[in-house]
Amino acid sequence: MSTEQPVSPPSNVKTPPSRWTMSLSIKIVAGVLMGIVALVFLLGLLLALFSDVDQAAPRVQIIRDIFIIILALQGIFVIGALAVLILQIARLINLLQNEVMPILKNTEETVNTARGTVEFVGSNLAEPVIRVNGFLVAISVLLRELFGIRRALRRTQGEIDETDRSKS
């Protein structure tokens, strides 16, 4: 068995849009159906105006019967499409209940756990470290100011600088 998986194109590569979009297809089908209806109307009008009524009646009855059959087939197709739509909606509801909702619950539990962890770390680790650091800084400032360590360091630094200058 091969473990290689098919290589998919990179996501940043854009494919050119198709000429046949859904709205264009719907417009074309609607236009064709309207054209057929207009053509049938014109044929019926011409048949009524330019032919004998006794001769045209059987033809009109045949055309009427054909349209009744077409409408019945169209009704069957609509019912079939509604059945498919109902099945798809049922599958969507099933997907939402059995797959999406557990994922959302898992995500909610993860967020709550992360929130608890952040609160725990903040109160038990970060806050004591910040307090100890602040305390140590305060002590160092106090000692520096009380004992004049800063001034002493400046004097010794100045003496060192003078000795370096004299050696040069």
- pLDDT of 59-85, one tens digit each? 778 888 998 999 999 999 999 999 999
Please state, in angstroms and rounded to a whole number, the distance separating the CA atoms of residues 80 and 22.
20
- What is the extent of the structural domain holding 34? 24-167
In a domain, 13, yes or no: no
DSSP 8-state class, residue 11: T
- pLDDT of 121-139, one tens digit each? 888 888 888 999 999 999 8
In a domain, 99, yes or no: yes
More confident call, 107 vs 144: 107
Structure tokens belonging to residue 102:
């557990």
Determine contact, residues 47/56, Cβ cutoff 8 Å. yes
In a domain, 5, yes or no: no
Instruction: Quote the pTM value.
Output: 0.42
- pLDDT of 20-41, one tens digit each? 788 889 999 999 999 999 998 8
DSSP 8-state class, residue 148: T
Structure tokens belonging to residue 148:
């004049």
Instruction: Please name the residues in contact with 59: beta carbons below 8 A apart, sequence gap of 6 or more.
Output: 47
